[in-house]
Amino acid sequence: DAGITQSPRHKVTETGTPVTLRCHQTENHRYMYWYRQDPGHGLRLIHYSYGVKDTDKGEVSDGYSVSRSKTEDFLLTLESATSSQTSVYFCAISESGFRPRNQPQHFGDGTRLSIL
């Protein structure tokens, strides 16, 4: 299995509180991704990173921010959590070098986040 660790694995919090999820990789891969998975929607990309301090938005980025200060860590922050952000969040990585295309992604086991 690819060395990807997500923390925490489960979290329950209240509306309006800030939440930070962490993704840690030991593969030295360049690309890292955050997805959310909801019934009826499959996986949707929130943000991704193509290098240290290089990030871009995905299709559902509103209400989320990310940071990547080291190759191995990619943080997802919900500045003020809302109930609509209750979901399972997955981190993924892919090896790219200078050719990001045609590479598989490797996933962590997810963080189940409940916002009450």
Partner 1 sequence: SQQGEEDPQALSIQEGENATMNCSYKTSINNLQWYRQNSGRGLVHLILIRSNEREKHSGRLRVTLDTSKKSSSLLITASRAADTASYFCATDAKETSGSRLTFGEGTQLTVNP
Sign of CA dihedral 86, 82, 94, 28: negative
Q: Is 71 in the site for partner 1 (CB under 8 A)?
A: no
For residue 56, state whether it binds partner 1 (rule: CB under 8 A).
yes
Which of 15, 26, 104, 116 binds partner 1 (CB under 8 A)? It is 104
45 makes contact with partner 1 (CB under 8 A): yes
Q: Which two tokens stand for residue 92?
A: 């993924």
Q: Does 11 bind partner 1 (CB under 8 A)?
A: no
- CB nearer partner 1, residue 21 or residue 92: 92
Is residue 107 within the footprint of partner 1 (CB under 8 A)?
Answer: yes
Positive or negative CA dihedral for 85, 22, 9, 91? positive
Cis peptide before 18 (omega within 30 of 0): no
Q: Which residues pair with 84 in a beta bridge?
A: none
Which range of residues in 18-26, 65-73, 76-84, 92-100 is near partner 1 by CB under 8 A?
Answer: 92-100
